[in-house]
Amino acid sequence: MSRNFVFIATGFLASTLLLSGCAAVGEGQGESSPPVVTEEKPTAQAPVEEAPEASAPPAKEEAPAEQEASEPEPAPEAPAVQEESCGWDSPAINGDSGSAPSSPGDALERVIIGAWQHTHIDSGSGFEPLNSGTDIRYVFPSATRLLYCQDVAGATSQAENAADITLDGTKIVLPGSAPGYTVTGWSADTMVWTNNRDGSTYLLARR
């Protein structure tokens, strides 16, 4: 062999060993090239759609009780009814002067309807009962009709006189030129009249 060939071969062999040796050392110590750490960017997670809240069904409106236990309406008062009769088959009644009303009560046009007994008279000294044997009654079949009844011992015997009248406010207007009466106080069962002729006061009790 020529000298140049030996030199070339020797150089080639040395180069080969150098390269392989370096590789062996690296593998023995485990110093392989460190892995490239790739930072994984957190992937944006799609927002989780919340399930829509189940809407409660609309509350059923309670239908108002059509027939609630409503208070029954008071029945209208029946018109007062009074027979046009003196009722002589029933005895006279006594009144209580202490119950004489001093002021107006309910509607006079309703209260006055009925049969009334004249029980006391006040001529200026306070109420006094009528004389024994004197029975005087006033019967109002309506607010526009009066039946006058008088039974006085030794004077009249169950005399009766009916007439159409007018109730002008609290004044009982009699036909003709008779002065009539003024009702000054009343309750359901008692009336006080003023005799417009002489100013005396009458007390009447409902029969």
102 pLDDT more than 50: yes
**Residue 140: is its pLDDT beyond 50?**
yes
Task: Tell whether the model's pLDDT for residue 9 goes beyond 80.
Answer: no
Mean pLDDT of 132-155: 98
Query: What would the pLDDT profile of 16-52 be if each residue is shown by its tens digit?
Result: 333 344 433 344 433 433 333 344 444 445 555 555 5
Extract the tokens encoding 120.
């006391």
pLDDT grade, residue 81 (50/70/90)? confident
Domains of the chain, earliest start first: 97-206 (2.40.128.20)
